[in-house]
């Protein structure tokens, strides 16, 4: 029997970034998932703060060379890979000089939020799905971590819903209390448009003239995991309204990791029953 496949899409991961709860959790989860018999892939942005020499990143030429459209501009996508120290797994990095070649991650040295974070998010979400297609690797479970992955579920459930790579994937989304979309502009929906999916079909990601990523993403996932201990009242109301199954927050990382793995086992067992 072939191994079940889990795709991790994350904006952060130790030891490459050390921003907090996402980085720490995603460092442990893929490794433990591999140890429990799953086949996995991990994709994240290649921020400029990630030292390529220290972490031994190198370009994957067969995966590089695509262009990703953001706001009617073409941006080259470069794919790099590194082996995670102390683990039997590789991490793939999506790189672009325009978006990621800077010393800081989401804020500049003066703690001012980068004005192009929305462009970087759109580039990353579009690039991830095209990269997985190029893998030719169909995941049973897709687990997204962080606001920067918020467009992925929408794209999969609409534009890519009939693609053989994604059509049978179940989507798990970990929601963390670190959304930076307050800086997004009114052009966000135009930039996020893809194929026949226009701004009007993406309007659920806005609340009035403000981007509200949780409002959009929670409509297109199968399971929501509360990745933070608390949320503001607006996000709480969105969680309460979602039709997705909700897994409450667990403070202990090891316990939360094992809960996720049991979830993957449950999902893939259900898929086998449906195929039988």
Q: Where residue 54 sits, what CATH number does that domain have?
A: 3.40.50.2000
pLDDT lower than 70: segments of the chain: 1, 271-276
Report pLDDT for 207. 84
Domain count, the chain: 1
Cα gap 26→12, rounded to integer Å: 7
pLDDT for residue 245: 96
The fraction of the chain above a pLDDT of 70, given in percent, is 97
Whole-angstrom distance, CA of residue 175 vs CA of residue 270: 24
The whole-angstrom separation of Cα 175 and Cα 218 is 9
Range of the structural domain that residue 125 is part of: 5-275
pLDDT of residue 35: 94
- How many C-beta atoms lie closer than 10 Å to residue 181's C-beta? 20
Pairwise CA distance, residues 256 & 227, whole Å: 9
Rounded CA separation 32/216 (Å): 30
Q: At what angle do helices 21-35 and 253-275 cross, to 10 degrees?
A: 50
| Alpha-carbon distances, residue 264 vs 29, 143, 245, 261 (angstroms) | 12, 10, 14, 5
pLDDT at 21: 86
Q: Residue 182 has what pLDDT?
A: 82
Q: How far apart are CA 204 and CA 199, in angstroms?
A: 10
User: For position 1, what pLDDT does the model report?
Assistant: 62
pLDDT 10s digits, 245-265: 999 999 999 999 999 999 999
């Amino acid at each position: 029997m072939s191994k079940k496949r889990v795709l991790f899409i994350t904006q952060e991961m130790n030891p490459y970034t050390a921003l907090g709860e996402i980085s720490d959790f995603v460092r442990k989860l893929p490794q433990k998932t591999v140890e429990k018999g799953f086949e996995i892939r991990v994709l994240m942005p290649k921020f400029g703060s990630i030292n390529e020499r220290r972490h031994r990143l190198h370009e994957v030429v067969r995966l590089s060379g695509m262009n990703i459209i953001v706001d009617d501009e073409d941006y080259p996508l470069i794919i790099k890979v590194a082996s995670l120290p102390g683990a039997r797994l590789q991490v793939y990095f999506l790189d672009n000089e325009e978006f990621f070649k800077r010393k800081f991650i989401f804020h500049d040295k003066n703690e001012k939020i980068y004005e192009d974070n929305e462009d970087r998010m759109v580039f990353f979400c579009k690039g991830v799905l095209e990269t997985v297609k190029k893998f030719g690797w169909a995941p049973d479970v897709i687990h997204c971590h962080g606001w920067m992955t918020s467009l992925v579920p929408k794209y999969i459930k609409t534009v890519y819903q009939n693609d053989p790579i994604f059509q049978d994937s179940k989507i798990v989304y970990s929601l963390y209390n670190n959304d930076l979309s307050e800086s997004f502009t009114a052009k966000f929906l135009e930039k996020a448009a893809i194929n026949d999916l226009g701004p009007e079909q993406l309007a659920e990601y806005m609340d009035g003239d403000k981007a509200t990523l949780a409002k959009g993403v929670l409509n297109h996932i199968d399971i929501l995991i509360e990745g933070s201990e608390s949320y503001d009242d607006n996000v709480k109301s969105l969680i309460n309204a979602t039709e997705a199954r909700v897994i409450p927050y667990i403070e202990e990382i090891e316990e939360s990791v094992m809960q996720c793995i049991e979830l993957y086992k449950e999902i893939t067992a259900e898929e086998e029953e449906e195929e039988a």
